[in-house]
Structure 1
Amino acid sequence: MTHGSVRPGHGPVRLGVVLPQAEIRPSDPRAVRRFVEHVEELGFDHLIAYDHVLGADSQSRPGWTGHYDHRTPFLEPLTLFAYLGATSSLELVTGVLVLPQRQTALVAKQAATVDLLLDGRLRLGVGIGWNEVEYEGLGVSFRSRAARLEEQIGLLRQLWTQPVVDHRGRFDIIDRAGVEPLPVQRPIPIWIGCGDAPTALERVGRVADGWMPHPALGGGSRLAAAWTAVRAAAERAGRDPATLGLQGQVRLTPGSLNDVTPRIDRWIELGATHVALNTLEAGLTWPADHHDLYTRIAQTWQAR
């Protein structure tokens, strides 16, 4: 793939942005909408929103190592997408929804509604999360979250494609019931976000429509080895690895403008179908600095 083929909304990879949730202070919904409208005008085609329901009070927990706490603002992504969908034509992506801490049938209903309102532009990235405080607050077992995720993925697909579902599993019971209206996409794409634990990579290859690697994997040999493992797991499950999507992510800072394109190219060489640029925690002032950085990046691409 040629170096010059990479620009927002075109070429061999779909380029998007990560909503910089932690920077949204104050939580002005109009500023969020303007940010989304701005990046769409620049030519990006998808928006990723992170998810946390509860933030733990880190000040009362000595030794707390969680990345976010009770002071970090997070907009609930499916509610946010219903709001943004009225004015945006972007693909809207959860990256990731902590699925096991939620009621499966309710997520099926919410996602189906949002996908209908978006005319089929929802991509559901899901994961098991890391915050035990959050699970406790939502009344769900933290220890069984991986097993619950697997059952939920299959059940969601049934609820999105069948008028009546009869399911009796380890975690959920649906007694001859269904979701109406069904989504536009039947089923809605489900991508799994995770690191490179072997069981997690095997799960991606076996049941997911795509993979969202944890940013801690970087963009080098560790990531490449994990992607190889995902594709091998897909083959073992009788699936075509070529049908799996790969979501890349490139973190940005005001001084990183010159190396954005090479970092996107590395994702393309790996086989990424999507790459999102991320200004989260880059030391930028919301919203002006984020607007300015994305504008400069777009101008740089257009000038090539």
Structure 2
Amino acid sequence: MKFAIPLSILPTNELLEITLQAEKCGFDSVATSDHLIHPKNFSVPYPYTEDGKVRWEEGTDWPDPINLFSYLAGATKKINFYTSVYILPARNPLRAAKEISTLANFSNGRFSLGIGMGWMPEEFQVGEQAFRMRGKRADEMIEVMKKLWTGDMHSFDGEFYNYEPLEMLPKPNHKIPILVGGFSKPAIRRAAQHDGWVSDLHSLEELEALIKKIKQERQEKNQTGEYQIIAFSCWDAFSADGFKKMQELGVTTITTYPWMLYGVMNEAPLQDKLDGLKRFSDEIINKF
């Protein structure tokens, strides 16, 4: 079992020290979410809470994931990075491919691209991308990016994107795993086609059902090979025994704020979080 720490919603000036401590204490990776903006008024409800309200407050830091991980990669040697998730269709695919391949090289293959389709129309407006048909467009974006990452001269003629022969260099020096977030039917289908799945917050029962759906989808499509199931710690199984139950379900990486196991909240002083991180390593990670 591997463990990861989400950097999302933490103060930006704490992220380097948390990452360095995580690497020192045996965490496999750090993750971050992605939002271009936080509008004063949302035009649609947040789809991942019952009341439709977002889980963060106005004024929360949302550093750009690719720039953040490039910075952290330069300060570390072995810890991995993944987005949970990167709102792919809110971007231009050529620009995104360039930034991601650059990060892949700077990190020496320590980056995995977790993608989501997005839910907030305002982000697409500022990104000058269409909100409608974003899922279908994202599928084509992945095709475009994979061709660009070969480093070969090529052209592309698709439904949404077209360009004459070109190359994009440097190409990634390692494969960039593509992970997919979400739990809708299209998200499960998309996740089964790629290299892994990234969960949202779920109960243990909900997580088990979703993993079964992904495994069934992969079996029906004859998908084989290494596959990552990255799950946020279940709210009803937040303990060493709960982590073992998640492992039994097939989870390969558990993402969690480790200090919360000891009653330390994200708003606590940095040193309290670093101490909780170290304690989690001693009491949990070393037993897996």
For Structure 1 versus Structure 2, the TM-score category normalised by the shorter chain is 0.7 to 0.9
Query: 1:167-216: CA deviations, max 9, x gaps?
Result: 11122223211210100113x11000112x222211211x211000221x
What is the rounded CA distance, in whole Å, between the counterparts of 2:94 and 2:29 in structure 1?
A: 26
Q: 1:58, 1:64 within 8 Å by CA — same for their partners in 2? A: no
- Out of 252, 258, 263, which is 2:242 matched to? 263
Q: 1:92, 1:121 within 8 Å by CA — same for their partners in 2? A: yes
Letter in 1 for 2:214: V
1:177 correspondence with 2:166:
yes
Query: Which sections of structure 1, spanning at least 5 residues, go unmatched?
Result: 1-12
Find the counterpart in structure 2 of residue 204 from structure 1.
191
Find the counterpart in structure 2 of residue 218 from structure 1.
203
Which region of structure 1 is more displaced relative to structure 2, 56-65 or 122-131? 56-65
Query: 1:101-126: CA deviations, max 9, x gaps?
Result: 00101111111111101111110000
Which region of structure 1 is more displaced relative to structure 2, 116-125 or 158-167? 158-167
Alignment of 1:1-304 (within 5 A): 13-19=1-7, 21-24=8-11, 27-28=12-13, 31-58=14-41, 65-68=53-56, 70-89=58-77, 90-186=79-175, 188-195=176-183, 197-205=184-192, 207-215=193-201, 217-220=202-205, 222-240=206-224, 243-250=226-233, 259-278=238-257, 282-301=265-284
Letter in 1 for 2:9: A
Query: 1:15-38: CA deviations, max 9, x gaps?
Result: 22111x3231xx42xx32111111
Which region of structure 1 is more displaced relative to structure 2, 269-278 or 99-108? 269-278
Query: 1:257-291: CA deviations, max 9, x gaps?
Result: x9531221122111112112226994531422321
TM-score normalised to structure 1 length: 0.83
What is the rounded CA distance, in whole Å, between the counterparts of 1:103 and 1:72 in structure 2?
A: 25
Give % identity: 22
What is the rounded CA distance, in whole Å, between the counterparts of 2:233 and 2:136 in structure 1?
A: 30
Query: Which sections of structure 2, spanning at least 5 residues, go unmatched?
Result: 46-50
Letter in 1 for 2:255: A
- CA RMSD after TM alignment: 2.7
How many residues in Structure 1 have an aligned counterpart in Structure 2? 277
TM-score normalised to structure 2 length: 0.87
What is the rounded CA distance, in whole Å, between the counterparts of 1:228 and 1:59 in structure 2?
A: 34
Where 1:227 maps in the other structure, the secondary structure is helix
What is the rounded CA distance, in whole Å, between the counterparts of 1:47 and 1:145 in structure 2?
A: 27
**In the superposition, relative to structure 1, how do residues 290 and 138 fare at CA in structure 2: closer, same or farther (>3 Å)?**
same
* Structure of higher RCO (CA pairs closer than 8 Å, 6+ residues apart): 1
Q: 2:5, 2:29 within 8 Å by CA — same for their partners in 1? A: yes
